[in-house]
Amino acid sequence: MSERNRKVHLNVFVRIAGHHAGGWRHPEAEPERDLDIDKYAELALLAERGFIDSLFTADNYSGTGRRLEPFTLLSALAAMTKHIGLIGTVSTTYNDPFHVARKLASIDYLSNGRAAWNIVTGHSPGDGDNITRWGGYPEQSERYAIGDEFVEVTKQLWDSWDDEGAGSIGESELRVNHINLHEIDFRGKFFNVKGPLNIPRPPQGYPVLVQAGSSEDGKELAAKHAEVIFTAQQTLGAAQNFYTDVKGRLAKYGRNPDQLVIMPGLAPIVGETEAEAKDLENDLFGLLNLENSLERASRFFSVNLSEYSLDDPLPIDKIKPEDGSRKSGITSRREVVLDAVRREKFTIRQFLNRSAGGHGHVTYTGSYIQVADFIETWVREHGADGFNLLPQVVPHGLETFINKVIPELQNRGIFRTAYEGTTLRENLGLTRPENKNREIWTARYQANKENISDPVQ
Q: What is the pLDDT of residue 2?
A: 46
Cα–Cα distance, 203 to 111 (Å, whole number): 9
Domains in the chain with CATH codes = 7-270+361-451 (3.20.20.30)
The predicted-structure confidence for 12-30, as pLDDT tens digits, reads as follows 999 999 999 999 999 999 9
* pLDDT recorded at residue 446: 66
Q: At what angle do helices 140-158 and 97-110 cross, to 10 degrees?
A: 50
Question: Tens digits of per-residue pLDDT, 255-294?
Answer: 999 999 999 999 999 999 999 999 999 999 899 998 988 9
Please state the pTM of the whole predicted model. 0.89
pLDDT of residue 360: 76
Ranges of residues in the chain whose predicted pLDDT is under 70: 1-5, 165-175, 177, 323-336, 438-457
